[in-house]
Amino acid sequence: MRAGVLLKENIRISLQSIRSNLLRTILTILIISFGIMALIGILTAIESIKASITSEFSAMGASSFTIRSRGMNVNMNGKRYRQKNFSYISFKQAMEFKNRYTFPAYVSAFTRPTGTAVAKYKSKKTNPNTRIIGTDENYIITNGLEIDKGRNFSLNEVKSSRSIAIIGNDLAKELFGTSNPIDKVFSVGGAKYRVIGVLKDKGTAFGGGQNRSVIIPMTNVRQYFSYPRMSFTINVMPHKSILLDAAISEAEGTFRIVRGLKAKDYTDFNIMKSDRLAKMLLENISTVTIGATIIGIITLFGAAIGLMNIMLVSVTERTREIGVRKALGAKNKIIKQQFLFEAVFIGQIGGILGILLGILIGNIIALFTGGSFVIPWGWMLMGFTITFIVGLCSGYLPAVKASKLDPIESLRYE
C-alpha cells in the first residue's frame, strides 16, 4: 500500500516538475518529436507506396499470367531477373493458342506497336505520347481495366477489323474536354476511329499509362501499324484463381505445341505471373525500408543524447531540491524513479507528437508520389516503444546521478 502511495506521489512530483520547467520541457519534446517524425514519416510514405503497389497489381489481375517472347531485364538488389528471349510471338501463333487453349479462362492477345503516336480531333492535337494497343475483346478483363463510358469490343468487331477505339481517361479529356466522346471520330497514326468506350481513371502510380492509350482491334493494327516481326503478348486469367498453377501448366504445354517444340526442346517463351513484378518491387522497397529505419534510428540517437544532456542540466539546477527531499526522508530509489518518470513522460509526449507529424508528412509525400493514405499501426507501436526506451536510457544516467547526491552538500548548493 505504502509503495503504491509513494509511486503515485513520485508521478505527481514528476509531472509538476515538467510543468514548472515548461520551456525546457517543450525544447526536449521537440527534439524527440523531430527524431520520431523523421522515422515514422519515411516509413509511412514507404508503407503507402507498398499498399499502392499491392492494390494496383491486384486490380491488374493478381490471378493472371502472361506469355511473351520479349524479355524484361530487371536488376534489383544485385539480383538479375532475366526473361529468356528467343523469337517473337506472331499473330498466327497467338490466334492458334487462343483456339487450342481449352482451360476455363479468359485469353487475350495484344500488341503495342507504338507509344509515341499523335491523336487529333478537330483543332486539338496531343503530344507524341499516345500509346496504341491492338487487342481483342478480352483485353479489358485480363488487364483489370474498367469501362467508364460506352462499351467494350465485340468478337465480330475484332474479326471484321472495325475502325473503333476505346480511349484512356486523360486522352478523352484532352481531345474532347467535358463533352461526351462516345461516337465521336478522331484520328491517330493516319487512320480515323470512332470512340465506343472510355476507360476509368487508373491514377498516376501503376497502370496510369492506360490513361493515354488508344485500344483498337488487333486486326486493325495489322492494317495501319504493321511492321516486320510484330510480336504479340498473351494474357490468361483463369475463371478461378485457385486454378492458376494448373492453368500455367496447361498453357505451357499448349503453346509448346503451337511453337512446334519437341519434348527435348527448351521452352523458348516466357510465362510470368502478374504478381511477380510486384514481388520484386516490394522486395526492393523492403531494402529501402531498412535503410530508412537505420537513418531514423541515428536521428533518434541524437535526440536521446539531447534529452540526456537536458536531464543532466536539470539535475544540476535542482540539486538543492534533491537535498531537501533527501533530508525529509526520500530514499535514493525514490529520487531515481522521479527523474526516470520525467524522462519517460517527456519521451512519450514527444513520441505522440512525432508520430502524428510523421503520419501527416508521410502521407503528404505518398500523395505526391501516387500512393494511398495509410495509418501504419505497427510503426506507431514501434514509435511508442522506441520513445519509451529512449526516455528510459536518456534518463537513467541523470537519475543515478541525482540519487547519489549527498543531502548535506545538496542543501548547501547555490
Q: For position 410, what pLDDT does the model report?
A: 60
Average pLDDT on 308-326 reads 75
Q: Do 366 and 48 contact (CB within 8 A), yes or no?
A: yes
Q: Got the DSSP string for 338-360?
A: HHHHHHHHHHHHHHHHHHHHHHH
Q: Got the DSSP string for 212-247?
A: GEEEEEHHHHHHHS--TT---EEEEEESSGGGHHHH
Confidence band of 160 (pLDDT split at 50, 70, 90): very high
Angle in degrees, CA 13, 33, 367, rounded to 5: 145
What are the backbone angles phi and psi of residue 370, rounded to the nearest 5°?
Answer: 85, 15
Q: Which amino acid is at 310?
A: I
Confidence band of 59 (pLDDT split at 50, 70, 90): low
The distance from CA 40 to its chain's CA centroid, rounded to whole angstroms, is 15
Q: For position 163, what pLDDT does the model report?
A: 94
Report residue 377 as a C-alpha cell: 499501426
Burial of 258 (0-12, 13-18, 19+ CB in 10 A): buried
The helix/strand count (H/E) of the chain reads as: 13, 14
Which pTM value belongs to this model?
0.59
CA distance 386 to 375: 18
The distance from CA 162 to its chain's CA centroid, rounded to whole angstroms, is 40
CA distance 304 to 302: 5
Q: Residue 75: which H helix or E strand, with range?
A: strand 74-76
Name the least confident of 37-51, 197-211, 245-259, 298-312: 197-211
Report residue 153 as a C-alpha cell: 469490343
Q: Which of 314, 317, 313, 312 is nearest to 410 (CA)?
A: 317
CA distance 53 to 278: 7
Q: For position 151, what pLDDT does the model report?
A: 94
CA-based torsion, 329, 333, 337, 339: positive or negative: positive
Q: Do 362 and 48 contact (CB within 8 A), yes or no?
A: yes
Q: Which amino acid is at 231?
A: S
Name the least confident of 5-14, 179-188, 320-329: 5-14
Mean pLDDT of the chain: 80
Q: Residue 172: which H helix or E strand, with range?
A: helix 169-176
Mention every residue, 6+ apart, whose C-beta is less than 8 A from residue 345.
14, 15, 18, 391
Report residue 390 as a C-alpha cell: 529512449
Name the least confident of 132-146, 161-175, 302-316: 302-316
Per residue in 26-35, pLDDT (tens digit) is: 877 887 888 7
Q: For position 81, what pLDDT does the model report?
A: 43
CA–CA distance from 22 to each of 76, 310, 346, 354 (Å)?
50, 13, 11, 18
Q: For position 345, what pLDDT does the model report?
A: 84
Q: Where are the domains of the chain?
A: 2-56+280-411, 65-270
Report the percent of the chain where pLDDT is more than 90. 30
CA distance 18 to 65: 61
More confident residue, 137 or 58: 137
More confident residue, 357 or 313: 357
Orientation angle between helical segments 91-100 and 244-258, nearest 10 degrees: 130
Pairing mode of beta strands 233-238, 147-150 = unpaired
